[in-house]
Amino acid sequence: MADLHTVNKSPFEKNSLETAIRYSLAGSSILLLEDGVYGATKGTAMEGMVKDAMGDRKVYALRSDLMARAIKEDRVIDGVQIVDYAGFVDLVEANDKVQAWL
């Protein structure tokens, strides 16, 4: 049993990512997309929280949204996996359900 949690809001403006991390189980996956990808960047005030979550959860970020926001791969937190739209579909398929944190 594992769920995919999607977060599409900036962690600096809304607490969606923080809450998603707090209420997601070990073994679940968190996909950052749209403004949510800002949570995947190195050197921010949110980096520690994301790294802690990665201890027992997988964190992904959508490539096209990283590109639009000028976040180069070397600025993405180590361990965050970058996926394209096909990878998004694979994640949906691999998990029991999708829970969106808007």
Partner 1 sequence: MSDVKKFMYLNRRAPYGTIYAWESLEVILIGAAFDQEVSLMCMDDGVYQLVKGSDTSQSDMKNFMPTYRTLGDYGVRHMYVDKASLEARGLTQDDLIEVAWEDFETEEEVDNIVEIVDADQVAKLMAESEVVFS
The residue ranges that bind partner 1 (CB under 8 A) are 8-10, 12-13, 34-35, 38, 41-45, 47, 63-65, 67-70, 72, 75, 84
The backbone torsions φ and ψ at residue 85, rounded to the nearest 5 degrees and listed phi first, read -60, -35
> Of 29 and 39, which CB lies nearer to partner 1 in the complex structure?
39
> Of 75 and 97, which CB lies nearer to partner 1 in the complex structure?
75
Strand ranges inside 1-102, DSSP E: 3-7, 29-32, 58-62, 81-83, 97-101
3-class DSSP state for residue 21? helix
CB of 101 to partner 1, least distance (A): 14
CB of 21 to partner 1, least distance (A): 18
Cα 7 to Cα 19: distance, rounded to the nearest angstrom: 10
CB of 65 to partner 1, least distance (A): 7
Of 85, 13, 19, the C-alpha closest to 53 is 19
> Of 28 and 31, which CB lies nearer to partner 1 in the complex structure?
31
